[in-house]
Chain A
Amino acid sequence: MRLSGRAGAAVALLLGAWLISPTVMPLYDGPGAPDQPYRYVVPPPGYTTKTPAPTTASASIVVRNGVNTAAFANSGESGPQVSVYIPAGSLQAPPGATSIQLSAAPSAPKAPLPTDGTIVSNVYTISATAAGGDVEIIGKGDNQTPTLQMRAPSSQQPGPTFETFDGKKWTSTETIRVGQDIYQTFAPKLGVWALVQLSTRGSGGSGIGGAQLAMLVLGIAILVIVGIIVVIRLARSRAPTETPAKRTPAKRASPRR
């Protein structure tokens, strides 16, 4: 295949991969950026780190033709503990409204709590208002449904799952991991959301730590072994090649006559 053919195939493959990948995929990887310690409204028992209060994510969204333009609302922590993405056309504004106020406000978990696990993040209440009234989500499908991201307090795996509260019970939603400690879900409705560590997945405590230690030890051992092999081969390849001993040409026996 010619180079241009390979390049075309590679670009087609990339476009196809984007089409099947979840929205807001992390493109950046690099060495990673350090997060601030998680800020709780009410820290869980044993969390001794002193932090400022968590912040509210808020944004004023411009309305055009009765619907919203695309907008983000990120909370102020580094990295943001909550981030809401509202695609264009997903919110229906009341007649005459020129802007929509979007916010995701933190609060402490309170009863009733999820029955299938433990809330590990703050509880965030997401709301959108315009002209004093609530705004409804009208967007359907992956392209017009709001996206919610939350940072978990820990990068330990297995990670938590998004759950939303409808006033009576908590319901889990499909959750994907989009960063080391960042999780994403579609939010077809606003309201109350939190990250829940499901009890069936285990606490991720000492087991994960043991697995990480084993991986670390095994990984270092392999690195050392491969390093030694490469060094030996390098030394051999650089060693002067054996030259055949000089031999004095044997005297030709004088031909017999």
Chain B
Amino acid sequence: MQCKDFESVLASEGFGLLPAEAREHLDACARCKEFLADIDSIVAVARTLPAEVAPPDRLWISLRAQLEAEGLIKEQVGTTEHASWWENLVVWFRPRSLATAGAALILAVTVAFLTHTRNRNVAEQAAPPTVAGNPQLAGSENTSAPEETHLTGSGKSSAPGPPPSRVKELKPSPSENASTTLSETELDVSNMQLAGGNGNAKVDASLRQNLRTLNEFIAECEQHLRKHPKDELAREYLNMAYQQKADLLAAMMESGRSEH
């Protein structure tokens, strides 16, 4: 038997019992002895390696958050359930920039649309017949609270709201929609950050601190607007805060993406 034949036997028969002819060759051949020793040591080292490690739960949460942010799935973020169809799909989203860009775009468009819609509603409220004829165009935030009595000094802003019975039929106001959308996105971002885990601490701390600042400010403005729904300055600041929050959440997504 030649060395080449011995290697073939080893490849086909494995490391178990070698045929007699192969063992005879091994006894006589120093090269093959060395070769077999190398193989043995590799196998020994390989056996010391840990078994394949399952991905951590936080990874699935992060992927789910991305898919929800993109609108591909719409579920409550829960605990890990492996091997569903979408989990296999997320392999295609490994470059997180794709998911992040998509989510940020959706967020920006949503906020811009809602803000625009709200502004249009305010403008249309100035024309009483249109508002009365189309209650869906009137923001409910302007009708759910009692009418301000001291705002009619110029006589231009006293547009009557729709009848109380119709108020209940109104869809949620754009501001409420923006608030809800942003809150959902904030939850997704929190999940992504939990999943990321190893971000730049200083940057993350600043982003989170500023998110808290914005949330407090938004809550303050919203509370004020519930009492004074026609306070345009407060609404202007609320819309600016919404826009800033959308930008901040996009930055937080970007920060999460940069970590990986």
Task: Tell whether A and B belong to one assembly.
Answer: no
Residues of chain B whose beta carbon lies under 8 Å from any beta carbon of chain A = none
Residues of chain A whose beta carbon lies under 8 Å from any beta carbon of chain B = none
